[in-house]
Amino acid sequence: MDNQTLLKTVVKACDDKRAEDIVVLDMRGISLIADYFLICNGNSDKQIQAIAREVKEKSEEAGTAVRRMEGFEEGKWVLIDLGDIVAHIFNRDERNYYNLERLWGDAPTVSAESVLQ
């Protein structure tokens, strides 16, 4: 599966579980870690876990294995490594504290709406 199709799958999975403030950072040429970071937040640990489960299930259905998932049990910051795409699913306080958007401020932002089209 190509990165654009996988990115669309991941964004849609987050959107389907009502993730808030979905941001996609284009990390190509900036980081060797991944081509894209997806950042979003949920309102509770249960919602964050539901979003993470949906991302995992939809990615696997599309043929992409989850390489690693961290933080699921705590439900404060779940990191899902899909290879070229890394999803960060936060609770609001953790997201504000770590502020990955500022940390990776030189990365262009891709609108979630444009990914879904």
* pLDDT tens readout for residues 52-111: 999 999 999 999 999 999 999 999 999 999 999 999 999 999 999 999 999 999 999 998
Q: What is the pLDDT of residue 72?
A: 96
Residue 93 has a CB neighbour count (10 Å cut-off) of: 11
Name the pLDDT band for 36 (thresholds 50, 70, 90).
very high
Name residue 88's beta-bridge partners. 39, 79
Q: Kindly list the strands in the beta sheet with 109-111, ordered across the sheet, starting from the edge strand earlier in the chain.
A: 68-70, 77-81, 85-91, 36-42, 20-26, 109-111
* Dist. CA 32–CA 83, nearest whole Å: 11
Q: What is the pLDDT of residue 111?
A: 87
Backbone angles phi, psi at 6, to 5 degrees: -65, -40
Q: What is the pLDDT of residue 20?
A: 96
Name residue 38's beta-bridge partners. 24, 87
Q: What is the pLDDT of residue 113?
A: 87
Q: How many CA atoms lie within 13 A of 104 on its CB side?
A: 23
More confident of the two residues 40 and 32: 40
| pLDDT value at 1 more than 80 | no
> How much is the pTM?
0.93
Q: What is the pLDDT of residue 108?
A: 94
Residue position matching structure tokens 């941001």: 23
Find the distance separating the first CA and the last CA of the chain, reported in whole Å. Answer: 18
